[in-house]
Structure 1
């Protein structure tokens, strides 16, 4: 019987591993400006797997843009970068078309997303993505930095689930890391770091997830100081809110049900938008 030399198997195995190790580098660069009293998208750079759907102007005058990843999610080793600049007087709303799905990473490599926002005085940027779902065996790392001039307005909410709960994948991902920082006029006004490692900690313990499968966080900063903290709706889990020393309003919530948490966070978001921005309710078109 003829036998293949060992080097033949080595080459085949190397090719197979190289194929699995392929990664993607996505880029999305957007610039919004005010022209004749309306917000327009002046710059639009897209590199797959990051894309956008055509902008829509909402009844309130805000320009809404949906971010799309048509590939079905992030893979281990993927690198995605989002850069957004909002000029004076412009109003921009960034949404995602669907949940962010972080696929399994057999190699153990992180799927990485870096987000950089810049908002000029008198401008407003809001970023309300759909929830992040880390699949079993996935690794994800995100950094978000927003640089705001004095008089700029900013809003952000993010929701994380413990996995594909309905499929029995609760807390089976490898690691989830997130860092969010807001700077205004060269001073840091807000910082949040999250590092979730299911194998290293009892995440369902009291004081952590407390048995809940859905968590949300949000932060807003307006062009004027807010008054008293508004009364937020009851969340079927736990909710906490407050204000940083430099005026950013933050919100945290936990719940067992995703839709119930989403509804409560949306209501709280609209209350804060009205108080901090003096803005009407968002009428989002999907």
Structure 2
């Protein structure tokens, strides 16, 4: 017999932390520490270059309300490291609460870090709080990208309900140099066709190079922005080159983002990126 006095079952939630650090040794970046627990993993695939790659992975297969995932990367002085995610992250419908995803990256003097996560796909009724912090010392540099896709176009999905806070910040010697706050709610989706909101787009991306002289890359970047199905623009100022792009589907946006990244960095994209 059903007992109404019984409390609701406690849902299992995914939690995890993965931490990786590198230091310079014998002329190249070498692994110093590696920690992983819960559903967060960090893999170091074999690569044919002097630049190591870190692939962060959420083995839970996605995020939902109450999940808590934390990735951190420390790149020592003079090192160059590329970090990415194994596949697209998925924010699923939340029955209660928000999923939390924190990314913390530090780059020492003269270091260069490429933080190139694959896209995040938002599902109907998803609730996500994400914060990405990149702390640069002195003349360190970073190249970073973030892509959000609102539902799966191939499945005919149209989102009407979600609650997403996505804050990205880059500091140099503790001083903010780039802040990218984003808030997506039901109200924003309802006005999604307004030019000041999404302009009808279902996917959006920001690519940012923060480095001494980064603004000099502006002409090279603008030369590759003419892509079918994507509206994009680039700006360069004060040690930054930033590209923002909107598209009606995630695939053409992904191709453009890949082209921009290859323009801004030496060598190919991480092998887990499939275009």
TM-score under structure 2 length normalisation: 0.90
User: Whole-Å Cα distance in 2 between the matches of residues 23 and 168 of structure 1?
Assistant: 29
Q: Which runs of 5+ in 2 are unaligned?
A: none
Q: Is the 8 A contact 1:174 1:199 kept in 2?
A: no
The answer to whether 1:33 aligns with 2:13 is no
CA contact (8 A) 1:58 1:283 kept: no
What secondary structure, in the 3-state scheme, does the structure 1 residue paired with 2:256 have? helix
* Equivalent-residue separation in structure 1 for 2:151 and 2:249 (angstroms): 13
What TM-score, normalized by structure 1, do the two folds share? 0.86
Contact 1:189 1:247 (C-alpha < 8 Å) held by counterparts: no
Structure 1, unmatched stretches of 5+, are: 274-279
Task: For residues 91-149 of structure 1, give each alpha carbon's deviation from its aligned partner in whole angstroms, at most 9, with x where no partner exists.
Answer: 11111111101111112x11011111110011111111111111111101111111101
Kindly state the Cα deviation for residue 38 of structure 1 after the two structures are TM-superposed.
Answer: 2.0
SS in 2 for 1:263: helix
Write the deviation string for residues 208-262 of structure 1: whole angstroms up to 9, x where unpaired: 2222221111111124454262233213331121134x42221100112322212
Asked if 1:197 corresponds to 2:217, the answer is no
Distance 1:128 1:180 in 2: 13
The separation in 2 between residues aligned to 1:258 and 1:66, in whole angstroms, is: 21
Deviates more, 1:196-205 or 1:143-152: 196-205
Aligned equivalents of 1:198, 1:256: Cα separation in 2:
19
What residue number does 2:93 align with? 104
CA contact (8 A) 2:17 2:71 kept: yes
In the superposition, relative to structure 1, how do residues 73 and 173 fare at CA in structure 2: closer, same or farther (>3 Å)?
farther
What is the root-mean-square deviation of aligned Cα atoms in Å?
1.9
